[in-house]
Structure 1
C-alpha cells in the first residue's frame, strides 16, 4: 500500500482522533434533547476518530487517494514533471 500521509499530517490525525474519542467518552459533552441523537453522534465520533487513527498508523488514506492528495515525501531521483517509467532511466 502506497503511503500518502506525511509525518506532520499523521501527528495531526492522531491528535484529532484523540480529541474525537474524548468528545465521545466525556459525559455531558455530547448532549441533545433526543437521547437517540446522542447515541448516533457518539457512534459517528468513534467511527471518524477510529478512521483517522488507523490512517495515521498505516500512513495511507483512502479519501486522499480518491482526491489525489499526497502529503507524504517520497524519495526519488526524478523531478515532478518527468516520467520515471518512460524507459530512458538507468537501472
Structure 2
C-alpha cells in the first residue's frame, strides 16, 4: 500500500516545464551577482527543490495539500473519484 502512495506522481508535464524553467532562472540569478548573501542561498535551495521535484515527478508540498497537476484527462481534485458519474458526456 505504501509503495503505491509514495510512488504516485502528482506533477503534470506543464508543471514540470515551469518548474525546470524557474529553477534554471533562479540558479542563473544566484550564479551571477544579481543575488547575493542569504537570498543567494535561498535561490539555490529553491532551484534545487524545483529541479528535483520536476525530474522525479513528485512534490511533497502538493502531497501535503492534496493537489495533483498530473495529466489525467480531466479536471478534478486528487481526492475525488473521476468516475462517479458526474462527468459531462
- In the superposition, the TM-score normalised over structure 1's length comes to 0.71
Q: Based on CA coordinates, which of the two structures has the bigger radius of gyration?
A: 1
Give the aligned partner of residue 40 of structure 1. Answer: 38
Tell me which residue corresponds to 1:21: 27
RMSD over aligned CA atoms reads 1.6
CA drift at 1:59: 0.2
Residue 64 (structure 1) aligned with residue 62 (structure 2): yes
Gap runs ≥5 in structure 1: 31-37, 83-91
TM-score, length-normalised on structure 2? 0.73
Ranges in structure 2 where 5+ consecutive residues have no aligned partner: 1-6, 74-80, 85-89
* Cα deviation digits, residues 46-85 of structure 1 (max 9, x gap): 000000000000000000001111011248xxx6154xxx
Whose relative contact order is higher, 1 or 2, with alpha carbons under 8 Å and at least 6 apart? 1
